[in-house]
Amino acid sequence: MGLLNIFYSYIHYLIHPFKTHEFLVHPDRYEGFKPVQLSAYESLTTSWVFVIISGIFRVIMLNFIILLFVDMLEDSSFNYSQYIDIKEFPTFYFIILSSILDIIFYPLFGIIIIQFWEVIIKFYGTLLGTTGDLSEKAQNIISVYFSSSILTLIPVFGATAQSLASMILMYAGLRKQLNASPVLSICIILTPFVLLLGLLSILLLMILVFL
């Protein structure tokens, strides 16, 4: 399993999620480029690489912008020192810290995401009466889902693009792996939000009761 094959497969996961799942469901019938089949944890490890690169790139870009800003102020005839202390940029250090924390805790959050979605996917798969190994299907769906991490390399809009792409990738997996209807696939994707809303409602109700 070469690194280039993994990279090409990751790109294929992202660009052709429906074709990817067709291959994963029926590898013997599929014709065309055959991506490497990664487990959810292997896909998580691969996506971690892109998160690390994205974090480093974000810090470098911020440092470049601050240095450019400082040079512009120094070249200006306006006395900015009474308004701005160029030696103190708390936002810079905050972004560095957040980037480091993102890199460190990404595998932990990734494992939690895998465990959570595996339970949800297997639950709905059982309700739908989906045939086959539900654990393997869940692993395939989550593996393709993590390929959206490539988009974090896009400056500024990377996080937004990654979030939107991850939902599309999850939708494709649910449609192909579980044979879920479009409406049900969307409902499954919204399950975390519904659970969170329910939890917040319960907490709010408990607060109101005990006040």
> Model confidence over 79-97: pLDDT tens digits?
554 555 545 555 667 777 7
∠ CA 121-13-148, nearest 5°, is 75
Rounded Cα distance, 151 and 165, in Å: 8
56 residue type, one letter: I
* pLDDT on residue 145: 95
Q: Considering the chain, what is the average pLDDT of its residues?
A: 84
Rounded Cα distance, 75 and 94, in Å: 27
Distance set, CA 50 to CA 2, 12, 45, 203 (Å): 17, 16, 9, 37
* pLDDT on residue 175: 93
Q: What is the mean pLDDT of residues 169-182?
A: 93
> Residue 98 corresponds to which tokens in the numbers above?
């957040």
Check if the beta carbon of residue 115 is closer than 8 Å to that of residue 139: no
Does 56 have pLDDT greater than 90?
Answer: no
Q: How far is CA 205 from the centre of its chain?
A: 32
Please state which of the ranges 72-81, 128-137, 168-177 shows the lowest mean pLDDT.
72-81
Predicted confidence (pLDDT) per residue in 21-54, tens digit: 988 888 887 777 788 888 899 899 999 999 899 8
Predicted confidence band of residue 72 (pLDDT cuts 50, 70, 90): low
* pLDDT on residue 188: 93
Identify the burial level of 42 via C-beta atoms within 10 angstroms of its C-beta, where 0-12 means exposed, 13-18 middle and 19 or more buried: middle
Q: Is the dihedral of CA 45, 145, 129, 179 positive or negative?
A: negative
Look up the pTM and report it: 0.83
> Residue 101 corresponds to which tokens in the numbers above?
């924390």
Predicted confidence (pLDDT) per residue in 118-142, tens digit: 999 999 999 998 888 899 999 999 9
